Amino acid sequence: MRITLLAGGVGGARFLRGLLAAAPDAEITVIGNTGDDITLFGLHVSPDLDTVMYTLGGGISEDQGWGRDDETFAVQSELTAYGAGPAWFSLGDRDFATHIARTSLLTAGMPLSAATARLCERWRPGVRLLPMTDDDVQTHVLIADEGGRREIHFQEWWVRLHAKVPALGFTFAGADLSAPAPGVLTAIAEADFVLLPPSNPVVSIGVILAVPGIAKAVAAKTVVGVSPVIGGAPVRGMADACLTAIGVQTSAAAVAAHYGSDLLDGWLVDTKDAAAATAPELAGIAVRAVPLYMHAIPATTAMAKAAIELATELSR
């Protein structure tokens, strides 16, 4: 069985752990969001690719959901001593090595997709991890503060401002000029079905769909999504701040309606949101209510099994 997913950071990576347990023989391709990428100290940081790679490779900081386990911060404290910023983005010594390795491969002329494959040779995540594009696409956030209306990098909004300054909108700078990375469109076309894990629908899945060609390729497949919202609140992160910014209600039904029935064939909601199954705005989308809290691997495995069952049923 060939399964392709569009994934962001923590939610996507945790879902993938359950999917690998639910379908150990499946050939899984993950198309990772790179709109979060940021260059710091001359190094290319790819947070969502690293979260998938570390989580499935066994190197993740479990309580953070990002960065490495057993971290030390000697380099960061030395940089701070030099007044070299920014200090608000916490980079550990082990994590720095990933960004140095990636940047040296990019500097040697490798595209991000090849560099990502090289880093995965160490971590062996058990999935093929592809960046959505090898081109430069950056998620920017429009805010209004004492400095007036301006756009800032997603990471500055998410990490320095803790998404507390309301986002007035998002732009995916460079998306229009970008192309899917090698293998992305083939992985979608050749999949038995596509899954959308409970990643942020705006700044993770939404960015990937903004790369020309990807949305159309995905819409041609059987697609089952997993709601990132349970009982009117995001399970993790600040998906609600992102959804509000684009005028979408924070509910399981509203997120599915936002994706639309052209894209989605099936939608998993938590048992709390079972009413979504009869929501008129979800006509044309098969809704199933199953427990969606990924509090332990068995729970996530059951969710992944439900997604596979629904996708298999819908692709008949």
| Site of interaction with ligand FO1 (CB under 6 A) | 8-9, 36, 45, 47-48, 50-51, 66-67, 89-91, 95, 155, 158-159
Smaller CB distance to ligand FO1: residue 9 or 201?
9
Smaller CB distance to ligand FO1: residue 66 or 267?
66
Smaller CB distance to ligand FO1: residue 158 or 170?
158
Smaller CB distance to ligand FO1: residue 9 or 198?
9
**Residue 234 Cβ vs ligand FO1, minimum distance, rounded to whole Å:** 12
- Find the largest Cα–Cα distance for the chain: 61
**Residue 241 Cβ vs ligand FO1, minimum distance, rounded to whole Å:** 12
Contact 134, 112 (CB under 8 A): yes
DSSP per residue, the chain: -EEEEEE-SHHHHHHHHHHHHH-TTSEEEEEE--TT-EEETTEEE-HHHHHHHHHHHT-B-TTTSSSBSS---HHHHHHHHTT-S--SS---HHHHHHHHHHHHHHHTT--HHHHHHHHHHHH--SSEEEESBSS--EEEEEEEETTEEEEEEHHIIIIISTT-SPP-EEEEETGGG--BPTTHHHHHHT-SEEEE-SS-TTTTHHHHHTSTTHHHHHHTS-EEEE-SEETTEESSTTHHHHHHHTT--SSHHHHHHHH-TTT-SEEEE-GGGGGGGG-GGGTTSEEEE-----SSHHHHHHHHHHHHHHHHHHT-
Smaller CB distance to ligand FO1: residue 222 or 250?
250
**Residue 157 Cβ vs ligand FO1, minimum distance, rounded to whole Å:** 10
**Residue 100 Cβ vs ligand FO1, minimum distance, rounded to whole Å:** 13
CA gap 158, 154 in Å, rounded: 6
**Residue 122 Cβ vs ligand FO1, minimum distance, rounded to whole Å:** 16
Smaller CB distance to ligand FO1: residue 17 or 221?
17
**Residue 155 Cβ vs ligand FO1, minimum distance, rounded to whole Å:** 5
The residue number whose beta carbon is nearest to ligand FO1 equals 9
Smaller CB distance to ligand FO1: residue 22 or 45?
45
**Residue 204 Cβ vs ligand FO1, minimum distance, rounded to whole Å:** 6
